[in-house]
Amino acid sequence: MLLLDYSAKKEQMLQEYYAQLEPQIETGEPWSDAHTWTILTGEVEILIRDTLQLYHDLIRADEFHHYCATTQSQYPYAQQDVQFDALFHKLHTLVEKEIALAAQFAQHGYSPKSYEDLVECCRAVEVLLADESPIYTSEAFQTVLQHSLDDIKAGRVVEMPPEPL
Amino acid sequence: MALRSVGTATFWQQYRALPEPIRRLARTTYRQFLQDPWHASFHRKKPSALERLHPPIYEFRITRQYRALCQVEGEEYCWIFIGDHVAFDREVRRLAR
């Protein structure tokens, strides 16, 4: 699947990008050199922006993956799904590393623009990868579920149309 | 016995609130469900948090992000929830703040 291959390559590229950036921050005193500082903050912004884009690309690719699964009898769903899982796990690792990186920058007075989005992205991937969706134990979900169960009791149900939904 | 499938009023309300591309995908998924209710792409499973309920409730995957819940009794399927788990989780956390 082209979309999956593209996302996998992009994830690899971002891991390499991160691997180049990290030692520059870990070693030396980039904070004391204005020129290096400017370059590094710019690089971190790009890294985070592209990682967030990768998340959105993967979500779209996953939608297409499920579309293919239900419309093409020969589609190798199980095989592709394993690759999607692996890629979401890799993305999660990358996002966690970037959050740590952003925290280092924040300690020196610079908070990357999309930091909050990155934290949200991390949580979103955790939701997608969880063995069981965390929403089910929430009070809000239990309320919504109760509405639906009340619908059943009150007979507020509609037969699925012959040409469904 | 033929499969009978209904949706609650709450389910239909949630369905209508979905983005159109996801509604289209839900329709495609449902057509597949009518042919094979155990298709691998559904990742059909009983959420342990809902195990106390009877008849049992199963989760069906539309995508990793969008999933539906169905109460199943023999060949009778009652759809009770459809939605975006990432957005729902975000909203739960926002309300908790």
What does B50-95 look like in DSSP terms, one character per residue? Answer: GTTSSS-EEEEESSSSEEEEEEEETTEEEEEEEEEHHHHHHHHHHH
Which one of A57, A63, A143 makes the best mutation probe of the B interface by having the most chain B beta carbons within 10 Å?
A63
The whole-angstrom separation of Cα A8 and Cα A11 is: 5
> Taking CB atoms and an 8 Å limit, are A136 and B29 in contact across chains?
no
Determine what percent of chain A is predicted with pLDDT higher than 70: 93
Residue A163 domain-assigned?
Answer: no
- SS3 at position B45: strand
Residue A164 domain-assigned?
Answer: no
ipTM higher than threshold 0.90:
yes
B88 touches A at CB < 8 Å: yes
The whole-angstrom separation of Cα B93 and Cα B97 is: 6
Q: Which residue has the higher pLDDT, B97 or A42?
A: A42
Overall number of domains in chain A: 1
Residue A21 domain-assigned?
Answer: yes
Domain hosting residue A86, numbered range: 2-153
B22 touches A at CB < 8 Å: yes
Residue A93 domain-assigned?
Answer: yes
Residue A85 domain-assigned?
Answer: yes
A142 touches B at CB < 8 Å: no
The H or E element spanning position A43 is helix A34-71
Are the CB atoms for B61 and A130 separated by under 8 Å?
A: no
Residue A158 domain-assigned?
Answer: no
Query: Shortest Cα distance from B59 to chain A (angstroms)?
Result: 10
pLDDT for residue B92: 94
Residue A133 domain-assigned?
Answer: yes
Query: Shortest Cα distance from B1 to chain A (angstroms)?
Result: 17
Query: Shortest Cα distance from A9 to chain B (angstroms)?
Result: 21
Residue A162 domain-assigned?
Answer: no
The whole-angstrom separation of Cα A102 and Cα A41 is: 9
> Taking CB atoms and an 8 Å limit, are A59 and B65 in contact across chains?
yes
Encode pLDDT of A77-112 as tens digits: 999 999 999 999 999 999 999 999 999 888 888 899
The whole-angstrom separation of Cα A84 and Cα A64 is: 12
Encode pLDDT of B27-66 as tens digits: 999 999 999 999 999 999 999 999 999 999 999 999 999 9
B50 touches A at CB < 8 Å: yes
Determine what percent of chain A is predicted with pLDDT higher than 90: 70
For A97-142, what is the HEC assignment?
HHHHHHHHHHHCCCCCCCHHHHHHHHHHHHHHHCCCCHHHHCHHHH
Mean pLDDT over A33-56 rounds to: 90
Q: Note the Cα A152 to chain centre separation in Å.
A: 36
Are the CB atoms for A52 and A122 separated by under 8 Å?
A: no
Q: Domain spanning B4-96: which superfamily? A: RelE-like (3.30.2310.20)
List the domain boundaries for chain B. 4-96
